[in-house]
A and B are shown apart, each in its own frame.
Chain A
Amino acid sequence: MGTGKAVDKALTLLRYLPRVCLANIRTNPGAKKCKKRGRGQHGGDKHGAGNKGSGQRQNYMRLGYETGNTPFYLRFKREPYYKGHHLRRQYPPLSMLMLQTLIETDRIDISKPIDLVAILNTGLYRLFPDQQQFGVNLTDEGVDLFKAKVNIEVQWASELVIAAIEKAGGVITTAYYDQHSLQCMLNTRKFFERGVPIPRRMIPPQDAIEYYTDPAKRGYLADPEKVSQERLVLAQKYGYTLPKLEDDPDYNMLTERKDPRQIFYGLHPGWVVNLKDKVILKPEEKELLDYYAS
């Protein structure tokens, strides 16, 4: 029906059919299988259970049992491949191409700094901290297409990715968030509704300190002077002119950074956010202030 533009075929057909009521409706053919027990020669007799043995007598051997010989799951006392697997941190990937798509579909606002909360709020990147996942790993898929000036904070980035973002005139930082902070960031509305003060972010563990203090990785604990030095190094390595951030009109936005103990931009640890009354409660006790400032 070429001219069936405004008028839907099925809905017009319904105008000439009896009223749809409880007696008129049914499922698609093949959707429901009747669970009748088979009888007779076909389906009945042994009912698919076979002859003798544990199959027919329903007394199966335990899972993994290999009729006497040492089973596979007991043969190897140690598997060094999996040593410390429960302690290894995972960073689920987010490609540069995906990031570019999110920016172009206006899911992420580049006029403000992008952090893990902004990426999680799109609903298109999922993180599970209880499964040893610690944040975003920005991968280099689509790195040659990337051309957006952003202030982005991720948890892991390779050299090529850092170079691509800095070439476009942006700023990239790698920061660590402990699992408790990540749970607060997953669903911010739910967290604020709990009425609990914003916690302090913890320092990275021993094996992560080296990464986050490295200026080459743009770690948030690294010396800013060394970071700017590394920016020059990368520009020379990949052959692009390093854009001057000071001359940029968005300089304030690009240099906006969080304190190492801060989880959210603009909100300090210890504050309680009341969403209903649109009010922030701040502690005034000396002990609490000292604790949250440490």
Chain B
Amino acid sequence: MLFSRLKHCRCLIRDYCSSITANKSETSLSRRELQYPFKYQVARQAWVENMDTIDEKKLGLLDLHPDVFATNPRIDILHDNVRWQTLYRYVSFAHTKTRNEVRGGGRKPWPQKGTGRARHGSIRSPLFRGGGIAHGPRSPTPHFYMLPFYTRVLGLTSALSIKLAQDDLHIVENLELPTNEPEFIKELVKTRNWGPSVLFIDESDIMPRNITAATDEIRHINLMPAYGLNVYSMLKHDSLILTRAALDVIESKLLFHLHRNNTQEVVSQYKLDQV
């Protein structure tokens, strides 16, 4: 019953959108062509919004590939990805001295027999107070490991699917702002209910001047190139905003890896104990 209601809603929205599109240009009405045909699954859709004004204007409707934006929301895979992202570059500098590193303790403290006390060889053994630590941390200890390639791909697709499902994913024409004032972008984010923290993703790392100046001071609104997309950032920020170009790049790259001919190159790259 719930699903039939949702289906009905979507039809209403589609009718509504056709009457309120701001520009009836070529880009707004043409649907995006999706690579890699799929059966049974249905393409997901998202509005294309503008960044010129504070109030949002829907410029068009885009199709999104279900293999990237409608996969199983695997929370455990997201956890694995986040854990990997934090741990693989972590080096622990905790250090303890072993019994041979602690100062002193070379001499046998008392004779083996006759004293009535327990037998000992050195006053710095782990049994002693002030002695060395047996299995303690040894600096520097790296915690580097590589998560399997397809676990990482699935992490990205799961995160994107979850963002879209929870209405936290928005697609924007481009990141051209009319002013470089931080107040503009703050108002924009507030009016549109994009949540306090926002992550803007563009195709390349060179972004339009206004947005870089505006978001420079604001620490919870961040810009990122498409190659920097990662699970941790997607979960940390409340809203994820993709530009059209970034969407094309991300979707094509993820779909390429999901339909690769020879996965051995990519799967065996960091595998341990290979002949």
Residues on A lying within 8 angstroms of B by beta carbon are 1, 3-8, 10-12, 14-15, 19-22, 24-28, 31, 122-123, 126, 131
In Å, the complex CA distance between A188 and B35 comes to 27
Q: A19-B168, A21-B236 are in contact. Are A12 and B162 (CB under 8 A)?
A: no
Complex Cα–Cα for A215 and B227 (A): 57
B76 touches A123 (CB 8 A): no
B75 touches A11 (CB 8 A): no
In the bound complex, CA of A139 to CA of B30 (Å): 52
Tell me how many residues of B have a C-beta within 8 Å of chain A: 32
Contact of B166 (CB < 8 Å), options: A3, A19, A122 = A19
Contact (Cβ within 8 A) B76 A31: yes
Q: How far is the CA of A122 from the CA of B73 in the complex (A)?
A: 32
* Neighbouring A residues of B2 by C-beta, 8 Å: 12
Given contacts A19-B168, A21-B235, A25-B235, contact A6 B42 (CB under 8 A): yes
Q: In the bound complex, do residue B79 and residue A11 qualify as a contact, i.e. CB atoms below 8 Å apart?
A: no
Q: Is B165 an interface residue (CB 8 A)?
A: yes
Task: Tell whether, in the assembled complex, residue A10 and residue B73 are in contact, meaning their CB atoms are under 8 Å apart.
Answer: yes
Say yes or no: A28-B76 contact (C-beta < 8 A), given A14-B166, A15-B166, A22-B236: yes
- Assuming A11-B162, A12-B165, what are 18 further A-B pairs, CB within 8 angstroms? A3-B4, A4-B3, A6-B42, A12-B3, A14-B162, A15-B167, A19-B166, A20-B78, A22-B235, A22-B236, A24-B75, A25-B78, A25-B235, A26-B76, A28-B76, A122-B261, A123-B261, A126-B264
Q: Which residues of A contact B165 (CB under 8 A)?
A: 11-12, 14-15
Minimum CB–CB distance for B205 against chain A, Å: 24
Asked whether, in the complex, the Cβ of B3 is within 8 Å of the Cβ of A22, the reply is no
Q: A8-B70, A14-B162, A123-B264 are in contact. Are A27 and B76 (CB under 8 A)?
A: yes
Name 20 A/B residue pairs within 8 A (Cβ), A-sorted: A5-B42, A7-B6, A10-B72, A10-B73, A11-B73, A12-B3, A12-B165, A14-B162, A14-B166, A15-B165, A19-B238, A20-B78, A21-B236, A21-B238, A22-B82, A25-B235, A27-B76, A122-B261, A123-B262, A123-B263
Residue among A7, A10, A20 having the largest count of chain B Cβ atoms under 10 Å: A20
A145 to nearest B CB, angstroms? 25
Is B40 located at the chain interface by the 8 A CB criterion?
yes
> Could you say which residues of chain B place their CB within 8 Å of the CB of A22?
82, 232, 235-236
- Give Cα distance in the complex from A6 to B40, angstroms: 8
Residue of A nearest to B86 (CB): A22
Interface residues of B in 231-264 (CB under 8 A from A): 232, 235-236, 238, 261-264
* Cβ-based interface call for B161 (8 A): yes
Residues in B whose Cβ lies below 8 Å from that of A27: 76, 79-80
Chain A contacts of B41 at CB under 8 A? 6
CB distance from A62 to the nearest CB of B (A): 23
A residues in contact with B42, CB < 8 Å: 5-6
Report B101 CB to chain A, min CB distance, Å: 21
Contacting residues, chain A, for B70 (C-beta < 8 A) = 8, 11
| Segment 49-77 of B: residues with Cβ below 8 Å from A | 70, 72-73, 75-76
Contact of A12 among B6, B72, B167, B238 (CB under 8 A): B6
Shortest CB–CB separation between residue A100 and chain B, in angstroms?
20
**B73: contacting residue among A5, A14, A19, CB under 8 A:** A14
CA distance A122 to B232 in the complex (A): 36
Q: Report the Cα distance A20→B78, complex, angstroms.
A: 10
Contact A26 B75 (CB under 8 A): yes
Q: Which residue of B lies closest to A22 (CB)?
A: B235
Task: Tell me how far the C-beta of A249 lies from the nearest C-beta in chain B, rounded to whole angstroms.
Answer: 30
B222 to chain A, nearest CB (A): 15
Q: Is B79 a contact partner of A25 (Cβ separation < 8 A)?
A: yes
Residues of B near A14 (CB, < 8 A) are 73, 162, 165-166
**Which A residues are CB-close (under 8 A) to B4?**
3
Contacts of A28 in B (CB 8 A): 76
Nearest residue in A to B79 (C-beta to C-beta)? A25
> Please, how many angstroms separate the alpha-carbon atoms of A5 and B235 in the complex?
28
Most buried by B among A1, A5, A6, A12: A6
A3 (CB) vs chain B CBs: closest residue: B3
Q: For A25, A26, A123, which residue has the most chain B Cβ atoms within 10 angstroms?
A: A25
A123 to B166, CA, bound (A): 39
For B72, list chain A residues within 8 Å (CB): 8, 10
Cα A10 to Cα B75 in complex, Å, equals: 11
Chain B residue at minimum C-beta to C-beta distance from A131: B275
Distance in angstroms between the alpha carbons of A26 and B76 in the assembled complex: 6
User: Given the complex, which residues of A lie within 8 Å of B264, measured CB to CB?
Assistant: 123, 126
Which B residues lie within 8 Å of A4 (CB)?
3
Q: Which residues from chain A contact B235 at a C-beta distance below 8 Å?
A: 20-22, 25
CA distance A8 to B40 in the complex (A): 11
Instruction: List the 4 closest A-B pairs by CB distance, nearest first.
Output: A123-B262, A6-B42, A11-B165, A25-B79
Cα–Cα, bound, A170→B41 (Å): 42
